[in-house]
Amino acid sequence: MQRHESGLITRRRFLAGAAATAALAALQPAINAQQRRVAIAGAGLSGLHAALLLQEAGFEVIVIEGRGRVGGRVLTLDDVPGRPEAGGSQIGSNYRRMLAAAVQAGVTLLTSEAGGAFPMSWLIDGQAETRRSWPQSPRNPFPEELKTITPDRLTSFLLREPPFRQTSDWHAESMSQHDVSASDWFRGQGLINAGLSLLGANNGYGNTLAGTSLLSLYRVVAGFQRGAAEGASILEVEGGNMRLPEAMAERLAQPVLLGETLTRLENGGGGVRLHCASGLEIEADAAILSLPVPALKRVEFSPAPPPPPPAAQHPQGVLKGGPGGEGRRRGVGGGGG
């Protein structure tokens, strides 16, 4: 992984690899790529995965990343005791592509317990609660019959009997009766506002619990149940989940160019040109933008792409990821958790 000075990356210079780093600023205007090359903006899991697939298929691949590290929403705080995860913290054992990526990258996966993860706890009204303290805690707002169930497990407990036999059934017209506000349904189960707030704090399937479909939560819980029936366990990467994207990046023939923020993408018909904030320019036959929406909105396109459908322009169509944007229970590279 490297940082590059201003300049234009051509096919010949690109193939020269890391030795060309210092010379980038002095490169002359280049001819278009003679071989198939794909430029990828974004070195998160999806960008790295795409890069490895293309490289395996015989393409020349160059990856740029605006941050000073790879990994995107995966971030292990290596300088903090215990190496807590500030991003994706869990890998479900039914995340097939993630498991395959781990095998190919040569990293070791451990169960969360074996990996030395700290016991789950919750900070409620400034006080730390554990599974042991929760049932008798004065901050426990759940009904008496539910007080032994911790906030992270209550949703799955209340939705433990999904109305369908397999997860694909949730598309059936007969399921529309369950397409109601989750908070209204939970209130009907005896939860008061304080209890609803605890469930809503870590709801990764809607911006608010009131705006989350009960049917959608049923689908999620059914998926968890299927994984449990298969003997699924929660996994993490030995040494921190950041070791996975780092190992993926190391498999690339050319190092990821760090600190290179894409500002403009030109499509000339026969190829593309990427402009970075540093002045670096890259020519390629095609480009993949694996960027979060805020970063993508700052990219200028020439020619401009067609406008998105009206529904895609409204903020209510965008879901938050979890507390702080990258929550404790966010899964790594898959649906769920």
* DSSP codes of every residue in 81-136: TT--BSS--BEETT-HHHHHHHHHHTPPEEETTTTTPPPPEEEETTEEEETTTGGG
**Closest CA relative to residue 273, chosen from 249, 296, 303:** 303
Q: Confirm if 6 and 25 have CB atoms less than 8 A apart.
A: yes
From residue 208, how far is each of 133, 143, 199, 311 by CA, in Å? 28, 22, 10, 19
- Coil, helix or strand for 84? coil
Q: Confirm if 336 and 220 have CB atoms less than 8 A apart.
A: yes
| Dihedral sign for Cα atoms in the order 207, 210, 211, 214 | positive
pTM score, whole prediction: 0.68
Angle between helices 243-250 and 45-56 (to 10 degrees): 30
Distance CA 152, CA 79 (A): 27
Q: Confirm if 116 and 122 have CB atoms less than 8 A apart.
A: no
Give the start-end residues of each E strand in 140-258.
234-237, 257-258
From residue 166, how far is each of 227, 229, 230, 234, 335 by CA, in Å? 12, 13, 14, 22, 16
Is domain 1-19+34-87+241-306+316-337 classified as CATH 3.40.50.2000?
no
Q: Which residues pair with 109 in a beta bridge?
A: 237
- Specify the amino acid at residue 215: L
pLDDT at site 259: 97
pLDDT at site 170: 74
Distance CA 20, CA 64 (A): 16
**Closest CA relative to residue 61, chosen from 31, 30, 40, 35:** 40
Peptide bond before residue 245 is cis, with ω within 30 degrees of 0:
no
Q: Which residues pair with 251 in a beta bridge?
A: none
Burial label for 202, CB within 10 Å (0-12, 13-18, 19+), is: middle
> Across the 337 residues of the chain, what is the mean pLDDT of every consecutive 10-residue run?
48 39 32 69 97 96 97 94 86 84 94 59 88 95 95 91 79 87 95 94 84 90 76 84 97 98 92 97 96 93 83 52 37 41
Distance CA 278, CA 154 (A): 49
Distance CA 290, CA 300 (A): 15
37, containing H or E segment: strand 37-41
pLDDT at site 115: 46
Rg, the chain, Cα only: 23
Distance CA 206, CA 209 (A): 7
The encoded tokens of residue 265 equal 């993408």
Q: Confirm if 258 and 280 have CB atoms less than 8 A apart.
A: no
**Closest CA relative to residue 62, chosen from 276, 304, 296, 298:** 276
pLDDT at site 230: 66
Q: Which residue ranges does the chain devote to CATH 3.50.50.60?
A: 1-19+34-87+241-306+316-337
